Structure 1
Amino acid sequence: MSDSPKSSLPVVKENSEIAISFKLELADGTLVEETQENEPFRFKIGDGTFINNLENLLVGLELGTTAKLTLSPERAFGLSDPNNFQTMDKADFPEEMALEKGHVIGFNTPTGDEIPGTIHQIEGDKVIVDFNHPLADATVIFSAKIEEIFS
């Protein structure tokens, strides 16, 4: 029999369904997203809800644990790729759509998925769209509390 006390708290596993309260912010404190009080976010580890790096950081945490992690761009949403800038014709956009620099628009891919594109520049009848993740190149701070572990 071992002398060291073993915790009896449930632990997040690689395929656990869990509920967390979380906050995602930029290094300068700008809030990106957070859960509302008493409304934890429920998901299954590995289902693609969060980027793998964030999910992997939750694995092994016990119920009730709070983690606060600062992630470099490489560990969070990646670095921007110059090949992800596309030039499109203004005519390709709905007439009623306000095209402004910094505006994020959902684009449908040939496979039926939707990806975000940020208007980078407007030059005459051409629109340059940045298809890098909106948080590419950003250092982010991810704070999460394990509220429930269902499996």
Structure 2
Amino acid sequence: MTGKSISKDSRVTLHFTLKLADGAVVDSTLEREQPGSFVMGDGTLLPGFEQALLGLQAGEKHQAVVTPEGAFGQPNPNNVQTMPRKQFKDMELELGLMLSFADANKAELPGVVRRITDEVVEIDFNHPLAGQDIIFEVEILEVA
């Protein structure tokens, strides 16, 4: 390959697929009309994903395993909250259900139901991919 290599401030256009260790696809641009495009270092991608792209050129395909520290972090036990069951009124709850809450700034904050009793509901506000290695497959289409 004899083109521009990806470095800080490069404009990159690519197709990517994020997979879990078991091969389950979490996200992909392959089925979308447009590939992904961003500027290296602009905060669009998490650090581990950017690191995996450094030095690649247009036309290259690459696969990297991004650890939790470079991706969505480790689960934080402080992000698991127990709330009174009555706060959910007559809502039909089930384990794994994702609910939307408002944080102190009225921004949307997703949480996943982890435990339900007659008295309390435990909600996990950690990112759903926290603690997991992510397989990052990319095809670099353009580097400018």
Normalising by structure 2, we get a TM-score of: 0.83
Deviation of 1:91 after TM superposition, in Å, equals 4.5
Deviation of 1:64 after TM superposition, in Å, equals 1.6
Q: 2:47 aligns with which of 52, 55, 74?
A: 52
Q: How does 1:1-151 map to 2 (within 5 A)?
A: 8-37=2-31, 39-93=34-88, 98-149=92-143, 151=144
Alpha carbons of 1:50 and 1:114: their partners in 2 closer, same or farther (altered >3 Å)?
Answer: farther
Amino acid at match of 1:34: S
The aligned length equals: 143
- Cα distance in 2 for partners of 1:10, 1:127 equals 52
- Cα distance in 1 for partners of 2:129, 2:56 equals 26
Alpha carbons of 1:106 and 1:49: their partners in 2 closer, same or farther (altered >3 Å)?
Answer: farther
Q: CA RMSD in A?
A: 2.3
Partner of 1:4: none
Alpha carbons of 1:31 and 1:87: their partners in 2 closer, same or farther (altered >3 Å)?
Answer: same
Normalising by structure 1, we get a TM-score of: 0.79
Deviation of 1:142 after TM superposition, in Å, equals 0.7
Deviation of 1:92 after TM superposition, in Å, equals 4.0
Q: Deviations over 1:61-95 (max 9, x none)?
A: 11122110112333332221111101123454475
Residue aligned with 2:126, SS = coil
Q: Percent identity?
A: 38
- Cα distance in 1 for partners of 2:29, 2:47 equals 19
Alpha carbons of 1:68 and 1:87: their partners in 2 closer, same or farther (altered >3 Å)?
Answer: same
Amino acid at match of 2:122: I
Q: Deviations over 1:101-136 (max 9, x none)?
A: 112233332234333311111122422111111011
Amino acid at match of 1:81: N
